[in-house]
């Protein structure tokens, strides 16, 4: 299983502009705290929305890394370029990486164009 730590995830997002940070938590969790620029597709909606995902490298994140690990496995089974962000948002925050809080702005969390 492909996993990266939060430092590597942040580096990829900075240095590889095609990479998408895919947050698979539920909408209320996303509103509480999120990584800026993350696209939101809750795990509960993923099976219905998988066709919406852009054909770009995906870094999958959740709260602690369990849901994102399952989603990463599913996406890789489908032949997608996906890696789990180990430790999730808990590790992201602990590492001092940027976060946004509160109600998402219009368009925040939307998937990027393919």
Whether pTM exceeds 0.85: yes
DSSP class of 84:
E
* Active centre residues (catalytic): 62
Reply yes or no on whether the pLDDT at 4 is more than 70: yes
pLDDT band at 113 (very low <50, low <70, confident <90, very high): confident
- Compute the average pLDDT of residues 87-110: 97
Q: H-helix or E-strand containing 83?
A: strand 82-85
Please enumerate in sequence order all residues whose Cβ is within 8 A of that of 8, keeping only pairs 6 or more positions apart, or say none.
none
Tens of pLDDT, residues 36-57: 999 999 999 999 999 999 999 9
């Amino acid at each position: 299983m492909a996993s990266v730590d939060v430092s590597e995830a942040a580096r990829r997002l900075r240095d590889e502009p095609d990479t998408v940070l895919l947050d698979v938590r539920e909408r209320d969790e996303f509103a509480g705290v999120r990584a800026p620029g993350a696209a939101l597709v809750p795990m509960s909606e993923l099976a219905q929305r998988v066709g919406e995902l852009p054909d770009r490298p995906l870094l999958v994140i959740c709260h602690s890394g369990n849901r994102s690990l399952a989603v990463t496995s599913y996406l890789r089974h489908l032949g997608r370029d996906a890696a789990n962000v180990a430790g999730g948002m808990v590790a992201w925050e602990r590492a001092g990486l940027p976060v946004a809080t509160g109600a998402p702005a219009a368009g925040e969390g939307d998937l990027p164009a393919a």
